[in-house]
Amino acid sequence: MRIECVVPARALVGEGPIWDDRGRVVWWVDIKAPALHRYEPATGATKSWPMPSRLGTVALRERGGLVGAFKDGFALIDPDSGAITPLADPEAHLPGNRFNDGGVDAAGRFWAGTMDDGEKDPTGHLYRLDPDGSVTGFEAAIAITNGLDWSLDGRTFYVADTPGGMILAYDFDMATGRPGARRLFARVPDAAGHPDGLVVDEEDHVWGAHWGGARLTRYRPDGSIERVVAMPAPQVTSACFGGADLDVLYVTTAAIGLDAAALAACPDAGGLFAVTGLGIRGRPSRRFAG
């Protein structure tokens, strides 16, 4: 196994990596120094687009471009022109909230969770953006809603409750796009940091990032730990599988809040990392059908 910082971006809160199998690039965001970033592994080229407000997550669109979940709601992003087209702001009545992490289900619907921007109150909920532009909300009552992905059969929806130290598993009806009963999938002890983003691999295992834990944990479908991968950055935020064979794990990290000593010890904090040699493949990134 090899871990390499491929983009030493020193992002405040690097998040939400996705692999674009058509463009052969990794897209990711910096939430708090709001920007959209792109990395091309074949050449090492990078490009960034400043964003008008905090951008929690993005997803690929079937029609090209991206869809994003911003501080002020859902919007389409056209990197070619730089245009941002607002779609809906389901929490305009909650100015203390913002969108955080998200993902696309097997039916092409874009999901994103909200959070209390003060990171204290359980005001975060889940929202589903359908291809026709309609938005449906689901109560979650989580202070920081994080890490959205689905099991291979689509019947389990994983969501991380970061302050609660838990990864939750919802029963999920893919036909109707509705989460049902939820249960505890895994608990992260305080000594291991806090659960952040997550991704499901081709063996139906869940890779969870640990904010403050300097690691990724691979969980079996029953929630038991299969392995832990130590990372050279304390605030690990999310991951995705990419590369031609979907066998490279791209990992985002954050530099926010780290003092000079911590940054000296972990100079690549806030960078985008590539983990190779795992012997494990992921799934292609799903695209929003809208």
Question: Helix, strand, coil % (nearest 5) of the chain?
Answer: 5, 55, 40
Q: How far is CA 37 from CA 58, 140, 280, in A?
A: 11, 29, 25
Residue 111's pLDDT is what? Answer: 98
> Model confidence at 123, in pLDDT bands (50, 70, 90)?
very high
Closest among 2, 286, 1, 7 to 149, alpha carbons compared? 286
> Model confidence at 144, in pLDDT bands (50, 70, 90)?
very high
Residue 187's pLDDT is what? Answer: 98
Catalytic residues: 196
Handedness of CA 8, 38, 251, 187 (dihedral sign): positive
Residue 12's pLDDT is what? Answer: 98
Average pLDDT over residues 180-208: 98
Average pLDDT over residues 186-197: 97
Residue 206's pLDDT is what? Answer: 98
Which CATH number is associated with domain 2-276?
2.120.10.30
Average pLDDT over residues 76-86: 96
Mean of per-residue pLDDT scores for the chain: 97
Spell out the domain ranges in the chain.
2-276
Average pLDDT over residues 68-73: 96
Tokens of 104: 């696309």
Convert the pLDDT of each residue in 238-260 to its tens digit: 999 999 999 999 999 999 999 99
Percent pLDDT > 70 in the chain is 100
Q: Which residues pair with 172 in a beta bridge?
A: 179
Average pLDDT over residues 29-43: 98
Q: How far is CA 228 from CA 17, 111, 278, in A?
A: 20, 28, 12
| CA atoms of 241 and 230, how far apart (whole Å) | 17
Residue 160's pLDDT is what? Answer: 97
Closest among 211, 183, 184, 185 to 197, alpha carbons compared? 211
Convert the pLDDT of each residue in 147-176 to its tens digit: 999 999 999 999 999 999 999 999 999 999
Average pLDDT over residues 122-134: 97
> Model confidence at 269, in pLDDT bands (50, 70, 90)?
very high
